[in-house]
C-alpha cells in the first residue's frame, strides 16, 4: 500500500481508531500498555475490545507495535500456539522479563502517556 493510499484509508477511519493508532505508535521499545489504557487514551475507556480489533486489522500495514499491548493483568492475551510465543519473544528481545507465571511487572515496564 502506497503512502497516499494509507493516508486516504486513515482519513476514513473513526476518530477513536485514529487516536488509538496514534497512542499505540507512541509506546516505546521496552514498555507495554494495556488494551484498556489505549482505549482510554483514545477517548473511550470501555472500548478495550475495539483496540483488539484495531490491532488485528491495522498492525501490519500501519507498522504498529502490536506486541507491546497486553491485558490488564500483565499477561499476553494470545493463546499458546496462536501468537503467544512470538509476542513473548518480541517483548523479551526488547528487554522485558516475565515472572514464573508469565506476568509482566507493570511497575517496571508499563508505559503511561505523559
60-92 pLDDT tens trace: 878 999 999 999 999 999 999 999 999 999 999
The count of structural domains within the chain is: 1
CA distance 111 to 74: 12
H helix or E strand, kind and range, residue 84? helix 84-93
User: Torsion angle of alpha carbons 112, 83, 91, 71, nearest 10°?
Assistant: 30
Say which CATH number the domain at 71 has. Answer: 1.10.10.10
In a domain, 75, yes or no: yes
List the single range of 3-12, 24-33, 103-112 with lowest mean pLDDT.
3-12
In a domain, 114, yes or no: no
CA distance 34 to 54: 13
Q: What is the pLDDT of residue 87?
A: 98
Domain containing 49: what range? 3-109
Q: Is the pLDDT confidence value at 11 over 90?
A: no
Say if strands 69-70 and 33-34 run parallel, antiparallel, or are unpaired.
parallel
23-71 pLDDT tens trace: 999 999 999 999 999 999 999 999 999 999 999 998 987 899 999 999 9
| Residue 41 and residue 23 in contact, taking contact as beta carbons nearer than 8 Å | yes
Amino acid at each position: 500500500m502506497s503512502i497516499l493510499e494509507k493516508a486516504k484509508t486513515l482519513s476514513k477511519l473513526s476518530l477513536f481508531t485514529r487516536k488509538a493508532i496514534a497512542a499505540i505508535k507512541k509506546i516505546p521499545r521496552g514498555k507495554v500498555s494495556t488494551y484498556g489504557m489505549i482505549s482510554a487514551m483514545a477517548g473511550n475507556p470501555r472500548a478495550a475490545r475495539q483496540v483488539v480489533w484495531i490491532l488485528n486489522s491495522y498492525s501490519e500495514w500501519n507498522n504498529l507495535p502490536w506486541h507491546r499491548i497486553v491485558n490488564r493483568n500483565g499477561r499476553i492475551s494470545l493463546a499458546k500456539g496462536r501468537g503467544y510465543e512470538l509476542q513473548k519473544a518480541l517483548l523479551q528481545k526488547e528487554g522485558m522479563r516475565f515472572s514464573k507465571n508469565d506476568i509482566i511487572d507493570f511497575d517496571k515496564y508499563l508505559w503511561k502517556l505523559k
